[in-house]
Chain A
Amino acid sequence: MIHYFYRLKRLLRMKQLFFWSIIFPLLLGTVFKVAFSDATNKDWGFATIPVAVTTEEGGIRDEAFVSFLKEMKNGDVAFFAVEECDRETAEAMLSGGDVSAVIVTGEETKVILRENGLNSTVVKTVVDGYLQSKDMFVEAAMNGKLTEVIGAFSKEIETLGVKEFEGTSKDPFVQYFQALIAMASLYGAMYGLMNTNELDIKFANVSARRLAAPMRAIPTVLCDVAAAFTIQYIQFLINIAYFILILKVDFGSINGWLFLGGVFYSLLGVLNGYFIGTVVQKSDGLQNAIMMGCTMFSCFLAGLMVGNIRISLELTAPIVNRVNQATLIADSMQALCIMGDMEKYARCLLGILIWCVCLVVGSILVLMMRQRRTGRSVKLA
């Protein structure tokens, strides 16, 4: 027990590790918050599109069309802010960026767009939709059924029902924070790495002293793991609390199961360190480089840099998501908190558990093989 407490005390006093596992994620989270605070709205938000409507020279102003444009509403907000003017002014406004599109009415309807994009698509879709009525009315007029058709056409019937999205958060940028939690958890490898090295004479002077003492190997290692795990778990709680309570990130609905997840995440990080520390023996510089590199790449694949990469991979190479550690962590949080999908949550945790078992078994196997080959006594570390 005292071993555990001293270990904990030491780990808490290691400024460098403290920085990586706690300060760095908090800093990055703050940057995320600053950068993404408006992103969803900008990308997905509904906004009135400014358009200029002008009539072709010598043409007749299409009254019906203009009012059609003006009356299109999404709830109370109009689709378009219509500006009627002459062609020259309209084009000047377009190139100046004051309007997104110029619609020229007359004999032929023409749309001039500033650039390709969603706004342009909206304008084009609406204009095309309106134009398509032409053929119908012409046909109706020929058949003498114009009144019936207009009557049927203008009946205000709402057919389309609305199904709300079941997820508890509609902010996809939370995916960045999920990846960030994954990163912070995987950085626990630093503690694992330190633990293995302090039991290896090659890396730390204190190891000889510890190994010379009458301490059983397995309880010692377990104490080390427990202390590293404790810190990682505290780190997890601090990060989550900071993101939710201070940055007010919409993580979805948090429930008790997440704290079970934290156990798995924290353990995975620490065990990664043990595995790397066992396999890579060359230098601690190399160990750190590999640890950082693997963690960063894993987190990149989980959406730390490009949020949607995870789901893109789900479509193209789902196997990556099944095995990538950071994705398992991020996915499990998404399944639990946003989708409320307990089954997927359990599956992700199982994936993490399998990883943990593999890392432990792998470390032990490597140790045993090395012991047999070199005859060096390493004692579980």
Chain B
Amino acid sequence: MRVVLKIVKKALPSVSMYFVIFFGMTIAMSFLTGKDQEKMYQATELTIYVEDKEASVLSKTLTEYLAQENEVETEYDKELLSDLLFSGLVDYVVYFEEGFEENFLAGKKGGIERQSTKPNMAFVDQKIELFFQYVRGELAMGKSLEDACASVLKNTENHAETEVLSGRQSMSTRPGYFFFTFLAYILPCILIMVLGPVMYSFYRKDIKMRTDCGMVSVRKQNTEVVKGIVLVAVVFWALFMGLGAIIYHRDFTPAEYLLGTLNSFAFLLFSVTISVLLGVLLPSTEALNGASNVLGLGMSFLCGVFVPAYLLPDYVNKIGEFLPAGWYMKNVILLNEENAATAHFTEFLTNCGVVTAFAVAVFFVFLVVVKRKKVA
């Protein structure tokens, strides 16, 4: 066990770096989610940018009309606006030119333009055209433009009664969500880097031969290694969960956090088994380092850790079902919804079970590989 800890100690600088990155990432994300990131996910409220060069009654009314249900921004510079449009943080832009009102009253086109990179913003076009229809209708009653505009705005108070079936906020996120999410990236990364070298050193041919010749029985040696690995894994995991509890306890109910912990434990099992497997398979610590990054980042992208699963193509989501992180993330998504995890408790447990099954499967592969190595 002493030896195990010694090898682990060597990997500590890199590991502490990962710790910093991880908490940097989660904190940065929850900080941004608390602010503007929300717009991106909460598509119910669009961000509409209005550039009004005319500032006429009509243009102002339309702006107000749009602002009723959306966030209207007016003060971005051109460069920022382009970037915002491109990345989709601004959904829709309306440009009013001089002469817009005049054209409208004359029944001519021109003076107002829309811009968006998102085809699904077509309904805003409809909304705006509808606005113009209303104004025309009101004007046909013989009202002045001011009165017509006022009536249109007033009529918008008419709302259909609305009911939402599940109360799901499918695209919004709790700040603490990112803690459990990024854990799917960081856990395998760290454990491969820490435990991989342990296995690598213990099962390297020459060392294996030497230890096998030693006075300590093979069984006892193995027990020592296992003890060390379990200790290290549990310490890391406890560190994450402890710190997570301190930072994010407000975002979850205790029951939910407990479930999250259970879920992460299942994933820990997988991370440990994959680490020891790679440790005996790969030829060098450098290769382990590479594998940890490829596996960590690759699996994360394929399983919706960084980019939410609903944005991924269906076949990628199918791939995700063959990866433990995919099942882990299913539970994290449940945790993201208030009370969903407790409500879908059996589903939650099943997902944990699948992750654990992955761990068991990997462990068997590991046993086979070790056996083969011994025979060879």
Chain A residues packing against B (C-beta within 8 Å) = 16, 19-20, 24, 27-28, 31-32, 34-39, 42-47, 72, 74, 79, 94-95, 103, 108-118, 120-122, 124-129, 131-136, 139-140, 143, 145, 148-155, 157-167, 169-170, 172, 175, 283, 285-286, 288-290, 292-293, 296-297, 300-301, 305-316, 334, 338-339, 341, 344
Closest 9 CB pairs of A and B: A293-B17, A152-B140, A38-B313, A74-B122, A46-B119, A44-B118, A115-B168, A289-B14, A118-B43
Q: How far is the CA of A110 from the CA of B29 in the complex (A)?
A: 37
Contacts of B258 in A (CB 8 A): none
B255 contacts the other chain (Cβ, under 8 Å)? no
Is A143 a contact of B115 with CB atoms below 8 Å? no
Please give the distance in Å from B188's CB to the nearest CB on chain A: 15
**Cβ-defined contact, B83 with A161, below 8 A:** no
Asked if B367 CB lies within 8 Å of chain A CBs, one says: no
Chain A residues lying within 8 Å of B126, measured Cβ to Cβ, are: 72, 79, 126, 129
A170 to B84, CA, bound (A): 12
Which one, B112, B138, B293, B316, contacts A136 given CB within 8 A? B138
Q: How far is the CB of B17 from chain A (nearest CB, A)?
A: 3
Contact B104 A159 (CB under 8 A): yes
B211 at the interface (CB under 8 A from A): no
* Residues of the A chain whose Cβ atoms lie less than 8 Å from the Cβ of B167: 115
A-B contact pairs, 5 of them (CB 8 A): A16-B286, A39-B312, A145-B142, A152-B133, A167-B117
Instruction: For the complex, give the distance between the alpha carbons of A307 and B298 in Å.
Output: 16
Can you list, as one digit per residue, whether each of B143-164 has a CB less than 8 Å from chain A (1) or not (0)?
A: 0000000011011101111111
> Distance in Å from the Cβ of A282 to the closest Cβ of chain B?
9
> A129 contacts B163, CB within 8 Å?
no
> For residue A108, which residues in chain B have a CB less than 8 angstroms away from its CB?
160-161
B32 in contact (CB, < 8 A): yes
User: Could you tell me if B86 and A162 are in contact, using CB atoms closer than 8 angstroms?
Assistant: no
B109-149 vs A, CB cutoff 8 Å, 1 = contact: the mask equals 11111111111101101111110111011111110000000
Residues in chain B near residue A162, CB distance under 8 A: 113-115
Q: Evaluate contact between A316 and B36: CB separation under 8 angstroms.
A: yes
B28 adjacent to A301 (CB under 8 Å): yes
Residue on B with the closest CB to A74? B122
Minimum C-beta distance from A291 to chain B (A): 9
Residues of chain A contacted by B290 (CB below 8 angstroms) = 16, 19-20, 24
Cβ contact within 8 Å between B44 and A111: no
Shortest beta-carbon distance, B12 to chain A, in Å? 9
When the two chains form their complex, are residues A113 and B18 in contact, meaning their CB atoms are under 8 A apart?
no
Which stretch of B229-237, B269-277, B302-310, B351-359 is in the interface?
B302-310
User: How close is B87's CB to chain A, nearest CB, in angstroms?
Assistant: 4
Which residues of B are found within 8 Å of A155, using beta-carbon distances?
Answer: 133, 136
Instruction: Note all chain A residues with C-beta closer than 8 A to B137.
Output: 133, 136, 140, 149-150, 152-153
> A133 → chain B, closest Cβ, in Å?
7
In contact, A165 and B165 (Cβ under 8 angstroms): no
From residue A139, how far is it (CB to closest CB) to chain B in Å? 7
From known contacts A124-B162, A165-B115, infer whether A338 and B286 are also in contact, taking CB-CB under 8 Å. Answer: no
B83 pairs with A159, CB closer than 8 A: no
The majority secondary structure among interface residues of chain B is helix
> Does residue B214 face the partner (Cβ distance < 8 Å to A)?
no
**Tally of contacts, chain A with chain B, CB under 8 A:** 320
Q: Are B115 and A163 in contact, with the CB atoms below 8 A?
A: yes
Q: How far is the CB of A14 from chain B (nearest CB, A)?
A: 10
B31: chain A residues within 8 A (beta carbon): 316
Which of A139, A152, A334 lies in contact with B136, CB distance below 8 A?
A: A152
In whole Å, how far is A99's beta carbon from the nearest beta carbon of chain B? 11
A121 lies within 8 A of B35 (CB): no
Interface of A is mostly: helix
Instruction: Give the distance to chain A from B43, nearest Cβ to Cβ, in Å.
Output: 4
Q: Which A-chain residue is minimally distant from B298 (CB atoms)?
A: A31
Cα–Cα, bound, A108→B162 (Å): 11
* Contact residues in B for A118 (Cβ distance below 8 Å): 43-44, 120
User: Is the pair B109, A110 in contact by a Cβ cutoff of 8 Å?
Assistant: no
CB distance from A29 to the nearest CB of B (A): 11
Q: Contacts A34-B316, A94-B165 known; list 10 others, CB within 8 Å.
A: A34-B302, A115-B165, A132-B158, A136-B137, A159-B109, A160-B114, A161-B113, A162-B115, A308-B88, A311-B87
A120 and B44 within 8 A (CB): yes
**How far is the CB of A66 from the nearest CB of chain B, in Å?**
15
Residues of B within 8 A of A314 (CB): 80, 83-84
CB atoms of A165 and B85 under 8 A apart: yes
Contact B32 A316, beta carbon cutoff 8 Å: yes
For A172, the closest partner residue in chain B by CB is: B87
Of the candidate stretches B19-27, B201-209, B215-223, B327-335, the one touching chain A is: B19-27
Q: Nearest chain-A residue to B111 (Cβ)?
A: A161
User: Closest CB of chain B to A246's CB: distance in Å?
Assistant: 18
- Chain A residues positioned under 8 Å from B21 (CB to CB): 293, 296-297, 300
> CB distance A127 to B160 under 8 Å?
yes
Tell me the minimal C-beta distance from A134 to chain B in angstroms. 6
B16 contacts across to A, CB distance below 8 A: 289
Shortest CB-to-CB span from B244 to chain A, Å, is: 18
Q: Are B168 and A116 in contact (CB under 8 A)?
A: yes
| B310 surroundings in chain A (CB, below 8 A) | 42
- Whether A175 and B158, one on each chain, are in contact in the complex, defined by CB atoms closer than 8 angstroms, is no
Q: Which residues of A contact B107 (CB under 8 A)?
A: 157
Identify the closest chain B residue to A305 (Cβ).
B306
B37 at the interface (CB under 8 A from A): yes
| Interface of chain B residues 38 through 87 with chain A (CB within 8 A) | 40, 42-44, 46, 69, 79-80, 82-87
Question: What residues of chain B lie closer than 8 Å to A110, measured between beta carbons?
Answer: 160-163
Decide: B95 and A289 in contact? CB cutoff 8 A: no
Query: Are A45 and B114 closer than 8 Å at their CB atoms?
Result: no
Question: Does B365 reach chain A (CB closer than 8 Å)?
Answer: no
Docked-complex contact B17 and A289, CB < 8 angstroms: yes
Q: In the complex, A136 Cα to B16 Cα: how many Å?
A: 66
Contacts of B298 in A (CB 8 A): 27-28, 31
Given contacts A42-B310, A117-B171, A293-B17, contact A111 B79 (CB under 8 A): no
CA gap between A143 and B138 in the complex, in Å? 11
For residue B342, CB closer than 8 A to chain A, the reply is no
User: What residues on B are CB-neighbors of A45 within 8 Å?
Assistant: 119-120
In the complex, the chain A residue whose C-beta lies closest to that of B303 is A35
Q: In the complex, which of the residues A28, A44, A145, A311 contacts B119, with contact meaning CB atoms closer than 8 Å?
A: A44
